[in-house]
Amino acid sequence: MPSRLYVLSASTRPTSSGRPLARWIAELAAARTEFEVTTVDLAEVALPFLDEPEYPSTGRYAHPHTRAWSELIFPADAFVFVLPMYNGGFTAPLKNAIDSLYAEWQDKPVGLISYSAGPSGGAPAIEMLRPVLDRVGLRPATPTLSVPGIEDLVSDGAFHATPEFTAGAQAVLAGVAELALEGAGVRAGA
């Protein structure tokens, strides 16, 4: 049975180059037999900044927007976060989206794909995100992909991949698939 993979676009900017990249990642993932793919755009989710009266670890959500976010995320078996780098870090909306939930993330694999206009490809954002993922129990896949010069790779609403980016994205997806399979085995044996 394929894993339910959610490809999450972490930018809320209306002109984000990450959306075409996330769509491309979702297409690559959908072509694989291991995944049933859903795309999630944080701009469309429009989650308010954490405003719950209780800690997310309690799972007692008072607001409809948080309950809807929980209901959207809970069924996922795995994720790929497609994230921009802003000023050396990851986005506040992504941090908010992660912080708003807790149990929904537990022991699920996540692939990390960053991008930036500059030469780093957003790699520092991935490194900054790792401790947050660890705290909420997400399991990052070992291969990551960082895409530099994103604006030169997007035109007419599409991401134009090089062979190197395609190989890198496939490595991330393979890493997520492996972790999802391991997790399914652990859950089946429990």
> Which amino acid does the sequence have at 80?
V
Domains and CATH numbers, the chain: 3-189 (3.40.50.360)
Q: Model pTM?
A: 0.95
Whether the per-residue pLDDT at 16 is higher than 90: the answer is yes
Given a cut of 70, is residue 189 above it in pLDDT? no
In which region does residue 151 sit, left (phi positive, over 0), alpha (psi from -120 to 50) or beta (all else)?
Answer: alpha
Q: What is the pLDDT of residues 19-33, one digit of tens each?
A: 999 999 999 999 999
Tell me what pLDDT residue 91 has. Answer: 95
Higher pLDDT, 114 or 2: 114
> What is the helix, strand, coil percentage profile of the chain, to 5?
45, 25, 35
Encode pLDDT of 108-164 as tens digits. 999 999 999 999 999 999 999 999 999 999 999 999 999 999 999 999 999 999 999
Is the pLDDT assigned to residue 188 strictly greater than 90? no
Pairing of strands 139-147, 109-115: parallel
